[in-house]
Amino acid sequence: MQTFPIFLSLQDRPVLVVGGSEPAARKVELLLSAGARVTLIADTVVGEIAQLIAEARISWAGRGFDDDDLSGMALVIVATGDEALAARVSSAAQRRSLPVNVVDRPLLSSFIMPAIVDRAPITIAISTGGTAPALARRIRAEIERALPAAIGRLARFAEIFRVQVRRTLESSRDRRRFWDRVFAGRIGELALAGDEIAARRELIRLLDSARNENAPAGMVHLVGAGPGDPDLLTMKAHRLMQRADVIVYDRLVSPEVLAMARRDAERIFVGKRRGEHCQTQSEINRRLVSLARAGNSVVRLKGGDPLVFGRGGEEIEALVRAGVAVEVVPGITAALGCAASAAIPLTHRDHAQACIFVTGQLKDGTVSLDWPMLARPRQTVVVYMGAESLPIIAARLVEHGLSPATPIALIENGTTNQERRVVGTLATIEQQARRAALEGPTLCMIGEVIGVSLARDPELQDQRASF
């Protein structure tokens, strides 16, 4: 996050605007809509600015800027084409620790003016940190099209009952769940439609019911977080993450995916690293049971798919034995995500009629796999967690009949901005992986389909040739 977003109250507070052109008029209109008392500094004014002065909606000093004009101001906006004046005002404001924005000059600004969606009292601000204002305006247009024009009416309706709900429901969790039911159900629909009398009647009935009902039982959702790209989350996964009281996650969940969770949800890290376990699986199971029994809605967030090498089955068994409700939400597993990102077909009519997923984790220094089965021709083998055991895997496959020239691809941090690929053969891949110094989660894909992808991707051809 390059800039910290805040909403500043300007009601009846003094704000200085320097400049008398049309860009200044746009800023003055926004400031007036926020209730500010605007003073304008400009030698001359044109168009709408002149009209605002004539209507006595703003104060105008028909002269140039003086440093003393900053005294008592809450905010400063500079909208002038005079570069020297803009730099002077910015410097003087920042010496006084006054927030200052110079239109289209982010380097001279201490804050950025966002693109705004106004559905009072709801305000949505979009900023690109000053890098692409046109993109911010486009995003604003998309939000305006998707957001009901009357959404502010719903916020005003909720404000009427806010204190009463707080007094009735002591737990913040109970209040949040209550409001979720209001906004997502018939009450919200009635308020949006303008039938406030019916909406009030329904809300009072729901609040009475919530006061007397027993606390809802907790539940655990085993949710697949996908291979790292937040755009690959399912809609259901995102919805549950937004409603969860607690997020329990491991190290394979990318920061970008975790950022999609509800901001005030409790977050518990239970990750495992190679040779280093933060918590044992039994401890994780007990914690999930305890959290659910406390009435929480728990999302157990797992990289990839929870039932593909994610120990989801063990957690389901523990939860069912404890009488805790559990739901599994599938995710895009690493094999599918990495294959798609690298455009590698896992199956191919001419090269691979089967695809096999295995884990390459070492146990007692060895990898216990069905090597004769894995070394069969015309199939794709995908090895999860195989970076450490790569030399053993390559050697055993060659020993059991695969050609040393069999193509192999290593994909680190697949689908993310940090993705790296190393392509070679069973005979060369150990040395190539060592040169590449792969450290992140790495998936290994073996088979003729790698060659199919190489044939149509010059970049991968060049990469293999460079090792």
Q: What is the 3-state secondary structure (H, E, C) of 133-183?
A: HHHHHHHHHHHHHHCCCCHHHHHHHHHHHHHHHHHHCCCHHHHHHHHHHHH
Is 370 a catalytic site residue? no
In a domain, 342, yes or no: yes
Q: Was 227 annotated as part of a binding site?
A: yes
State the pLDDT at residue 216.
72
State the pLDDT at residue 244.
93
State the pLDDT at residue 132.
87
Q: Was 330 annotated as part of a binding site?
A: no
Residues 395 and 422 occupy one common structural domain? yes
For range 18-35, the mean pLDDT: 91
State the pLDDT at residue 456.
53
Residues 56 and 160 occupy one common structural domain? no
Residues 87 and 164 occupy one common structural domain? no
Domain count for the chain:
4
pLDDT above 70: percentage of residues in the chain = 94
pLDDT digits (tens, 9 = 90+) for 214-260: 767 899 999 999 999 999 999 999 999 999 999 999 989 999 999 99
Domain C-terminal end among 212, 237, 254 = 212
- Annotated active-site residue in 272, 350, 363, 370: 272
pLDDT digits (tens, 9 = 90+) for 164-177: 999 999 888 889 98
In a domain, 387, yes or no: yes
**CATH number, domain containing residue 353:** 3.30.950.10
In a domain, 250, yes or no: yes
Domain C-terminal end among 186, 212, 238 = 212
Nearest 5°: the CA angle 359, 360, 363 is 105
- The widest CA-to-CA distance across the chain, in whole angstroms, is 91
Residues 299 and 362 occupy one common structural domain? no
In a domain, 269, yes or no: yes
For range 99-110, the mean pLDDT: 92
Q: Was 373 annotated as part of a binding site?
A: no
pLDDT digits (tens, 9 = 90+) for 422-453: 999 999 999 999 999 998 889 999 999 998 76
Q: Is the pLDDT of residue 362 over 70?
A: no
- Annotated active-site residue in 174, 250, 302, 364: 250
In a domain, 130, yes or no: no
Q: Was 226 annotated as part of a binding site?
A: no
Distance CA 363, CA 324 (A): 32
Q: Was 64 annotated as part of a binding site?
A: no
In a domain, 300, yes or no: yes
Residues 324 and 388 occupy one common structural domain? no
pLDDT digits (tens, 9 = 90+) for 59-82: 998 889 999 999 999 999 999 989
In a domain, 131, yes or no: no
Q: Was 304 annotated as part of a binding site?
A: yes
Q: Was 44 annotated as part of a binding site?
A: yes
Q: Is the pLDDT of residue 271 over 90?
A: no
**Structural domain of residue 225, as residue ranges?**
219-332
Is 250 a catalytic site residue? yes
pLDDT digits (tens, 9 = 90+) for 125-162: 998 887 888 999 999 999 999 888 899 999 999 999 99
State the pLDDT at residue 366.
73
Residues 226 and 315 occupy one common structural domain? yes
Q: Was 334 annotated as part of a binding site?
A: yes
State the pLDDT at residue 278.
67
Residues 457 and 380 occupy one common structural domain? yes
Residues 202 and 304 occupy one common structural domain? no
Domain C-terminal end among 67, 93, 113 = 113
CA atoms within 13 A on the CB side of 73: 25
pLDDT digits (tens, 9 = 90+) for 191-207: 999 999 999 999 999 99
State the pLDDT at residue 467.
35
